[in-house]
Chain A
Amino acid sequence: MLRKKVNGVANGPRLSSAISELTGGAVDRRTFLRNSGLAIGGLAAVTGLRSGMVTKAEAQTAGGSAIEIRKSVCTHCSVGCTVLAEVQNGVWIGQEPGFDSPFNLGAHCAKGASVREHAHGERRLKFPTKLVGGKWKKISWDDAINEIGDKMLAIRKESGPDSVYWLGSAKFSNEQSYLFRKFYAFWGSNNGDHQARICHSTTVAGVANTWGYGAMTNSYNDMHNSKAMILVGSNPAEAHPVAVQHILRAKEQNNAALIVCDPRFTRTAAHATEYVRLRPGTDVPLIWGILWHIFENGWEDKEYIRQRVWGLEYIREEVKKWNPEETERVTGIPGSQMRRVARTLATNKPGTIVWCMGGTQHTTGNNNTRAYCILQLALGNIGRSGGGANIFRGHDNVQGATDFCILSHSLPGYYGLKKGSWKHWARVWDVDYDYLKSQFASEKLMQSKGIPVSRWVDGVLEAKDKIDQPDNLRAMVFWGHAPNSQTRGIEMKKAFEKLDLLVVIDPYPTVSAVQHDRTDGVYLLPASTQYETYGSVTASNRSLQWREKVVEPLFECLPDQTIMYKMAKKLGFADEMFKNIKVEKDEPNVEETTLEFNKGMWTIGYTGQSPDRLKLHMANQHTFDKTTLQARGGPADGEYYGLPWPCWGTAAMKHPGTPNLYDPSKPVAEGGLNFRARFGVKAPDKWGGASLLAEGGNEGVSYPVGNELKDGHPEFTMAMLKKLGWDGDLTADEKAAIEKVAGDKTNWKTDLSGGIQRVAIKHGCAPFGNSKARTVVWNFPDPVPLHREPLYTPRRDLLDKYATYSDRQMYRLPTRFASIQEQDFSKEYPLIMTSGRLVEYEGGGDESRSNKWLAELQQDMFVEINTVDANNLGVRDGQMVWVEGAEKAKLKVMAMVTERVGKGTVFLPFHWGGHFQGRDLRDKYPEGADPYVLGEAANVAFTYGYDSVTNMQETKVSLCKVYKA
């Protein structure tokens, strides 16, 4: 291992004395790691780095032509920071702060401040490459598409279309997401998915089933209005740094409480007013423990609950069990602290809840997310400015990619996979339902959920007779998706090696290129980044922003939409798929793609955001208020920035977007709303059979201002319009369009004219009805959210009360729960293992570890281990150790001894890759495309365990042991 040259970066004695002005000594993580040494092929490679890279100075001298500013959006997290790129002679020469952006006000984190490096792309994949006899060979795009296509068609013939897996990306723009989802529908399979499965799928399922939509209800900016903020399993200081600007504003200006609940004392916790350390996997007890105090003291918002919440009595029964003693026994949180937290939340309203992967990535993820919602409903915080469930999404467009349902269980707009859903999209796509059906192996498979990304390994390796499709997966396409974000590394390697065909389409080779010992049948195709194309992107708050193209695609890279077109052409469905989208030089027109999805996305109001309106917002960012997000004057006067969905009706209707979901204090036409009537109008008899519709007749509470029905109502259909006598408000064209779809049965989701939505809103009504939120999801495995111990739990003593589910068949695959939990791993693997993000890197990290400005800041993969555990194990700070997961996969990483994690818990950041169980895979990368920094991928050691509804992987709690390497 080489020692890194420190080059005068030393902390001189004077600096430490200057720092001691703040408080006493202690070295931080980065200084520790930077000074601890540097094992790197990367550094050697960094020397002489500048070859081939056009520097700002060179570009400036090149022609002296004018510098243009192009406006894009950061491609890392979901805050949606505006990137102002300075471009001269086609070269991206500088980056300026976008002070006008209401989201970031000029700010960036390390990743955002480094995005110009993408346009240098020194470590990018530069041309199509294939593995031949263990060696990477350059090939042409045409040959690549032909060879891949021929192989896929052969697999299709032998095993059916379901044996090819289309793994898409939260890095796609909305247009690319939509086309990708459409693509595998036309290929004839539901075996497609993207990162949302393993980040917020349990949120979407849990939240949408509680009150209608599964997205962040308010916005980062709206947190300025919060008086209390509780963060559970969310560490925005590293994962969403610019969001912290908004959080700290509330903390400073409103004296708002900031409560951080996390097994780790995170960088966010360092700024909290209250830090709650819980045992990983005990989120339901945490929330029920808080609710216990709220119910016990009558702190709940009774009027709000009466008018807007259904089923809370069932929750009360469960919460009663979580008295302070039981809560402390399970979570480890002292009762006095729980009471203080409950009191803070009850007395500081409006308050918001934020959660992230710490809450979602569990076998009980859907229970956790519903529990968070219920806490907020009990406090009356949903549908209020300053309140809400501010669910921070991870990737720049994971909200959009989720909305377009690059998922194995739905068509765009969460329409599902039922026959009616397919028929709706067939109408939008202007193709016959029968044509689509003929692309599938069967109508049954067309309507059955595909395999989720968390399970692709099982799709390859599981015995054929146990899978609910004709054959195993035989080809994998990783289209903008790193494999090191998925668990069970040893089995994954086997799966990689068993495949007939592996295709990676990405700006970087990714770990998919190296984490196996294949010698043939691997293709790497260079995709452009979002800075080399253009289109819309949806931030976490549901606002859409339009990106301009900053530079032309580098090297031989192509934009994803172009690659999709080329593939569709080869696979034989391009003419049908791109029927109504102009294609030039194999590139589908982006604006026409937007306009096409505008025609079909009625469910969630992605219909009003035309390219023209979005471009207008980008050009007039300065006119939008930085708290309300509403334009005050200017060409977009009254509209909300980025037209946050639902932006009802057609673009011509000029709906301003919905800044805060379910907020009845304003008319629906002005962005107001109520809870969605998604679950019928009446509870099942088993659950009391009561009406689910909102009640109370209280304008601005039980129904939005101006709602002419003045209370709860079901969702709108043509028949309902007629019954209300409102059908006369429809134009002749709208009537004709409605008649053509399904006559009276046409509803607000399937009416392609938008007439039903328009008329409902004209009368002050939400098109999706007005219902109560439901706290009991009767169609889920645990209708009332229950605590269940993780599959790999150290607390065997709790299993009599809190055991997991029985094994079951899900998403075409056998899925194990109890059969794993029944085995005791805790003796051999005594430490709890959890994972998370670092600010410098993102996701699998291939892109950010290839960025020299970021790579320099984090050079060694590490494990955080508590001082007590380290001393008991004889492990010293900076020493190399093995972290062995309970399924025996091992990681060789550097020990970071710290109080940040509690005793008995270790933490691993998950962005590394390129080492595998102690083996350095650098020589396996195509030449010049290896990231500067490589290391063990944490998820290799993470274990089996999938959410009972969505098959989210359980990566926030498992077991391991640590020993000296």
Chain B
Amino acid sequence: MSQQTEFERIEAAALRRKRVVRTVTYVMLTLWALVVLFPFYWMVLTSLKSYSSYNSEYIPQLYTLSPTLQNYEDAFTQVPLAGYFANTLIFTLITTALMLAVTVLAAFAFARLEFRGKNLVFTLFLALMMIPNELVVITNFVTITELDLRNTFAGLILPSVTSVFYIYLLRENFAQIPDELYYAAKVDGTSDLKYLLKVMIPICRPTIVTITILKVIECWNSYVWPRLITDEEAYYLVSNGIQTIRESGFGRENIPAMMAAVVVISVPLIILFLVFRKKIMAGVARGGVKG
């Protein structure tokens, strides 16, 4: 009988411990979720407060009863936010498109074609992955300045195009396509380029979508290079725009208007993320590092 109670004790203890651990886990996870979400909440909240009510809050209010969209109007009228947006869109689209073209061609050559020195060239490419951007930015800055490409889209885009890692990722994916498909296409008289466009790209679409999304995120958030290469507001991207708004826009202290601008800038990527959540997370898990 005493043995029975001993078991019950062990069981009860195990159950209790499990409950405590579970509760602590959820509390911890929720706490961090709040830490992550709070800045987003705060930026939306502040963007909805009017300038006067925000400035009269010596003690910050965690909610607002009189939301206003005035700040959003200001964000688009008082600073060239739409211009920053358009620039970023152009920059992102062209850079990503060029990157895709260059990457697909190179990956195809490495995965499918035979040529002398292939292994050596590929190894050299891989070695390039280790070169940090910060080292080459200096010369690139000088190069672009000498070519008189500062404050042009060409100057913004050209050095941002290639990414060795994406070439590597796509080559690995291309290499998984069985050789038989290629030989079959050859027998049917398909040209290499047609084979690439009609067979390889459709098969590897998931990877291509992934690298496209990652590149878009990278472009949308890029700050350092655009800052170096543009000093005319007409060419600012959103990151630089935000920095300018912070330092001189809205008469400095109009924080609700700044927050409205921040919301507008953040929303596209958050929507992109929520739509492609699984793809983005899988892509990043495969080796994306924040650029």
A is bound by B: no
